[in-house]
Amino acid sequence: MTELTGGTSTGITRTSRRLADGREIIYFDDTPQAPPRTAVDTRDLPEQAPRSEVRRDPLTGEWVAMAAHRQTRTYKPPADLCPLCPSTEGRPTEVPESSYDVVVFENRFPSFAQDVPEIPATVAGMPMVARAAGRGRCEVVCFTSEHTKSFGQLTPSRVRTVVDAWADRTEALSALPGVEQVFPFENRGEEIGVTLSHPHGQIYGYPFVTPKTERMLAVAEQYQRMNGRAVLGDVLAAERAAGTRVIETSEHWTAFVPSAARWPVEVHVVPHRQVPDLPALSEAERDDFAQLYLRVLGRLDALYDRPLPYIAAWHQAPVRTGRDLSWLHLEVFSVLRTADKLKYLAGSESGMAVWINDVTPEQIAERLRAVG
């Protein structure tokens, strides 16, 4: 059991334990006098045996993950069988304790893991297709023990605890062998593809730098070379000066609809200071984010007068490359283009990666400001 210090808020206790199959579980407690985390996982779980691998597409150069063992993962259980709720007598779950504040544990069905077997360097008969073990780590982050809550219903202090947990895990996963990029994210809503309705997110430790990040770094490097400044810094300054697409602002953060938004609802939340990742945020920046982000989520849920399905994706610097070019930011987007219509990724988007939006960024920003 340790007390979080440094860039984290005071009063958070971090406790690391093990589940029945050896996976790590970490409790982040912000409740004063929270009980010691000593509960034992009593389940009879099979030994973990992930077989993840990655293969490089010879036509695009992008890595694709293969994780066939995930086919048997839990799929839309009823609320009384939720594996992310606290354990109760006679019903053990992934969290052995009877309550928790924020908890993180290794995914039982990971896309990437540390203990994966070595495999041949190429696909049999295909020397142009590189192949490697899917060595990384995947974690689940439960934001609250209350099954019916959402992230937007958390208190600012609890959001701050989540931010500290994200930062803690970013540092831990970045130190693991084979991990090249750490990606915290939240999927919310069945329309997004969520199979567990308990409020939670995930953290991926990838064994490669993701294609989107590679592209963003290439653009950032070219812009820096030509202009001597960070591209996102200039975008942020221009958005704040124009104000047309800004929906929330504070001392340390600005939230705006990007001028070339792909999704029918899309918001970027950007710190005013260039930092590479979540661990680099100051205490003041973390506190400020908690307040502003809750206001952003409130606007998103008010947009169609219903809980908005969304993906919230943190863009962080890779572990070993492009750290001086990266500018941490959160991208929140939704597939919902009206209250009852979805944006499908059809021929142009899925086939050619050419996005066609049904609404202008200025229109959606105006609507989000109006529902504040």
Q: Structure tokens of 143?
A: 């934001």
Identify any residues that bridge with 132 across adjacent strands, giving them in sequence order. Answer: 54
Distance CA 368, CA 372 (A): 7
Does the annotation count 200 as an active-site position? yes
**198 labelled as ligand-binding?**
yes
Nearest to 269 by CA among 290, 254, 291: 254
**85 labelled as ligand-binding?**
yes
Rg over CA atoms, the chain: 21
Burial (CB count <10 Å: 0-12, 13-18, 19+), residue 143: buried
**147 labelled as ligand-binding?**
yes
CA 204, 88, 74 angle in degrees (round to 5)? 40
- Considering the candidates 200, 252, 268, 329, report the single residue annotated as catalytic: 200
**142 labelled as ligand-binding?**
no
Distance CA 11, CA 160 (A): 11
| DSSP at 9 | P
The secondary structure element, H or E, covering residue 285 is helix 283-303
Distance CA 10, CA 283 (A): 10
One-letter amino acid for residue 269 of the chain = V
Cα separation of the two ends of the chain: 41
The residues near 126 (Cβ < 8 Å, ≥ 6 apart) are 58
Q: Structure tokens of 314?
A: 């943190």
Q: What is the 3-state secondary structure (H, E, C) of 149-210?
A: CCHHHCCHHHHHHHHHHHHHHHHHHHCCCCCCEEEEEEEECHHHCCCCCCCEEEEEEECCCC
Q: Structure tokens of 342?
A: 């979805």
Nearest to 116 by CA among 42, 174, 54: 54
Binding residues: 82, 85, 147, 198
Binding residues for Zn(2+): 82, 85, 147, 198
Q: Which residues are catalytic?
A: 200
